[in-house]
Amino acid sequence: MMLDRRLLKNYDWFLLSTTVVVSLVGLANLYSATYQTDLGFFKKQALWVSVAMMLMVSLSFLDYKTLERYSQHIYIVSVLLLLLVLTSGKEVSGSKSWISLGSHITIQPSEFVKLSLILVLAKFYHDDFEGGPYGFVDLVKPFIYIGLPIALIMLQPDLGTALIIILISGSMILFMRVKVRSLLFLLVIILGLSYPAWHFFLKDYQKQRIKTFLDPYHDPLGSGYNAIQSQIAVGSGKFLGKGFMKGSQTQLRFIPEQRTDFAFSVIAEEWGFTGALFTLILYFTIILWILDTASRAKDKFSMMVCFGIASMFFWHTVVNVGMVIGILPVTGVPLLLFSYGGSSTLTAMIGIGIVLGIRIRKFPASKEAIAL
């Protein structure tokens, strides 16, 4: 691939460096969370972060037009991977969400589905020249795009990822505007389905999670335990925190999933309000920056891709942090770039890579052509 000098000149160093900072803070945080027990997680994650960064940088040089062209192929491959998970996946604590690649590497296809769905939806809206607001019939095709992976993920089952996918694609659909009448109609259908869903589709533990969210102290040693311990960890960090690697909640393992879903509680405990707020600002900076990229996009496809990736970061951040600080139910949603996990790290960095690629190509080619 030939490198265009303009690409380097216009390179989005700000997004790149902010992403790198967040990943490094996340790694340091993971180090503190695991050095007492098993640094293997830290080492593995460090490796994933390096691989993901290389992938991110490489992707930024790929023309997003290529992605547009292959978006449907990518989507189909990711759905096939989901099917593969269900047939020959590896079961971890009750859900089949992983496929093994060799003996050490496992990937979680549901993470990548987020990106492929963003691409395919962006492509769908790009090809549509009406430009909304859309009626109910216009929503059928995107609903099929969304429904297929959701159904497969619910079968695993992975409630958290399904929820995030609904939130991301829902944001995209709403952003493209839906007729008020259709919106109300949709709302009625959702409410109508929620009753049988509660009774027939939700597993007991899932109901328990929702109940626990309403009152975590109802079952303080069972399903409410994590929520309470996490709030204690966050709250006890106070303004300045207990210090790096000195968070007792973290170090004494009062929060069972502090490596993954509860990673944010570690920084909140050890660095206090200052550290937690700093991290939150980093995330919102990234989101706002991607949103800014979206608003300056040259075409609808790149705009929607950026918007989708922004909403992916947004929902992951809000749902995860909201859970850690006790304002949202405990669902297995990782904090991108912070939580341990190769697939989510790759997904996040690939997403940023795509945005980088779009950002550096937003400038009209003509100006550069003149300069050259």
Partner 1 sequence: MQEYKRSFIVVTIILVQSFLILAGRLWYLQVLRGDEFERFSLNNRIRVVRVPAPRGRILDRQGREIIANRPSFDVYVLPKDIRDLGFLTDTLSTVLGLDVKNITSKIQAALKQDRFKPVLIAQDINRDQLALIEARKGSLPSVIIEVNHTRKYPHGKLGASFLGYLGKATESDLELYPGIRGDDMVGKSGVEKSWEAYLQGKHGFIQKVTDALGREVRWDFFEQDLKSRDSVQGADVVLSIDLDLQKAAEEALGDRSGAVVVVDVRTGGVLALVSHPTFNPSDFIRGIDAKKWKELIADPSFPLLNRATQGLYAPGSVFKIVTAAAGLKEGVIDSHSGFYCPGRYRLGSKTFRCWKPAGHGWVNLRQAIVKSCDVYFYNVVAKLGIDRFATYIKDFGFGALTGIDIEERPGISPSREWKLKTYKEQWYEGETISMGIGQGYVNSTPLQIALMTSAVANGGKLLKPQMVKKVVSPMGETLVENHPQVNHTLSVNQTILDLIRDGLVGVVNDPSGTGRNARLDEMTVAGKTGTAQVVGLGKGNHERFKDHAWFTSYAPAENPEVAITVMVENGGKGGAVAAPVVKQILEVYLKLKAEGNV
Here the tokens at position 50 are 């390096």
DSSP run (H or E) holding 241:
none
Write 264-267 long-range contacts (CB < 8 A, 24+). 264/320, 264/321, 264/324, 264/335, 264/338, 265/230, 265/233, 265/234, 265/324, 266/29, 266/32, 266/33, 266/233, 267/25, 267/29
Site for partner 1 in 272-291 (CB under 8 A): 272-273, 276-277, 280, 284, 287-288, 291
Question: Per rule CB under 8 A, is residue 249 in the interface with partner 1?
Answer: yes
> Is the omega angle on the peptide bond into residue 256 within 30 degrees of 0, that is, cis?
no
Question: Per rule CB under 8 A, is residue 305 in the interface with partner 1?
Answer: no
Question: What binding mask, one character per residue, do residues 79-108 give for partner 1 by CB under 8 A, x or -?
Answer: ------------------------------
How far is 34 from 31, CA to CA, in rounded Å? 5
Instruction: From residue 287, give the alpha-carbon distance in Å to each of 174, 188, 281, 351, 353.
Output: 18, 32, 10, 12, 14
Kindly give, in sequence order, each residue whose CB lies less than 8 Å from that of residue 74, ignoring residues fewer than 6 positions away: 67, 115, 116, 119, 120
Q: Which stretch binds partner 1 (CB under 8 A): 115-123, 186-194, 201-209, 246-254?
A: 246-254
How far is 227 from 213, CA to CA, in rounded Å? 8
Question: Per rule CB under 8 A, is residue 220 in the interface with partner 1?
Answer: no
State which amino acid sits at residue 108: Q
Question: Per rule CB under 8 A, is residue 142 in the interface with partner 1?
Answer: no
Question: Per rule CB under 8 A, is residue 335 in the interface with partner 1?
Answer: no
Q: From the list 6, 55, 235, 257, which residue makes contact with partner 1 (rule: CB under 8 A)?
A: 235
Q: Which stretch binds partner 1 (CB under 8 A): 12-20, 134-142, 181-189, 295-303?
A: 295-303
Shortest Cβ 305–partner 1 spacing (Å): 13
Toward partner 1, which CB reaches closer, 210 or 232?
232
- What are residue 101's DSSP bridge partners? 105
For residue 273, the tally of other CB atoms under 10 A from its CB is 15
Question: Per rule CB under 8 A, is residue 229 in the interface with partner 1?
Answer: yes
Here the tokens at position 133 are 């607001």
Q: From the list 325, 335, 352, 356, which residue makes contact with partner 1 (rule: CB under 8 A)?
A: 325
Shortest Cβ 2–partner 1 spacing (Å): 29
Site for partner 1 (CB under 8 A): how many residues?
47
Q: From the list 2, 3, 221, 369, which residue makes contact with partner 1 (rule: CB under 8 A)?
A: 221
Contact residues for partner 1, defined by CB under 8 A: 131, 175, 177, 221, 229, 231-239, 246, 248-249, 251-256, 268, 272-273, 276-277, 280, 284, 287-288, 291, 294-295, 297, 299-300, 303, 307, 314, 318, 321-322, 325-327
